[in-house]
Amino acid sequence: MRTVSENKCFGGVQGVYSHTSEVTGTEMTFGLFLPAEAETRPVPVLWYLSGLTCTHENAMVKAGAQRYAAEAGIALVFPDTSPRGPGVANDEAYDLGQGAGFYVNATEAPWAEHYRMWDYVAEELPRVVTAAFDIDEERQGITGHSMGGHGALTLAMGLPGRFRSVSAFAPIAQPTRSDWGRKQLTAYLGADETAWLPHDATHVMRETGFDGEVLIDQGGSDQFLDLLRPEVLAQAMAARRQAGAFRMQAGYDHSYFFVATFMPDHVAFHAAALTR
């Protein structure tokens, strides 16, 4: 692992690091905020998965999460959204290829060689982070925005016992029935739609739910509402009687202004689960 940068931040350190990934076969970069408490003891960790076109840097700079994480004494990890590099398959569209990994393990050419973001986020990056930094592996939460909200929900429900808490900002709620999903899942996983189902938060919510509380915020003026399909996830949560809350926030769009507005609530939600 290599240190790209480290900056003092709210009494802790905001770092950026890179490493050679065996899972993706590429160089991967991630951000990590460590609160001051990490100097003396293992700290809980909150994973933040970003959306389409983002790198590790977008949420790290725009979401304003470090202040609240520092107050709660928890670490933040900001992974990248896909493998990158000149030898990595890409597409001219913003919603496929580099910057659009959708947190799945691709099985189809030309994507399968590098696009293994489920294994990267679920297995390899946690090993890298916990080996190098004082992180409490028993206390983990996960959140994300848009494509990252989809990833946070499917990872949390697909890995029972891994995360104590999960939240999402404007998640892609039903990719198997949305243009933000059908295109990408076909490209990465093939035409067999049964292979898509573990990566559909609404389907997994109906089937298994989450063994803890869930918090979801959705902007009522989000310009992508028809693609996100939040109503079906809300219905699935209600039908399953899932513990938690789905909140429609009037007037808010899909931007990081929306994410930053409700970030204090989300960090507090995770801190309550991670520090009790």
The answer to whether the beta carbons of residues 262 and 245 sit under 8 Å apart is: no
User: Closest by alpha carbon to 258, among 62, 109, 54?
Assistant: 62
Which residue of the set 56, 222, 266, 270 is catalytic?
222
- 254 labelled catalytic: yes
Whether residue 253 lies in the annotated active site: no
Catalytic pick among 21, 50, 146, 167: 146
Tokens (6 digits) for 209: 């739910």
CB 77 within 8 A of CB 125: yes
Q: Concatenate the DSSP letters of all residues of 106-137 into one string.
A: --STTTTTT-BHHHIIIIIHHHHHHHHS-EEE
Q: Exactly one of 199, 203, 254, 270 is catalytic; which is it?
A: 254
CB atoms within 10 A of CB 255: 15
Closest of 161, 199, 163 to residue 182, by C-alpha: 199
Catalytic residue at 119? no
Active site amino acids: 146, 222, 254
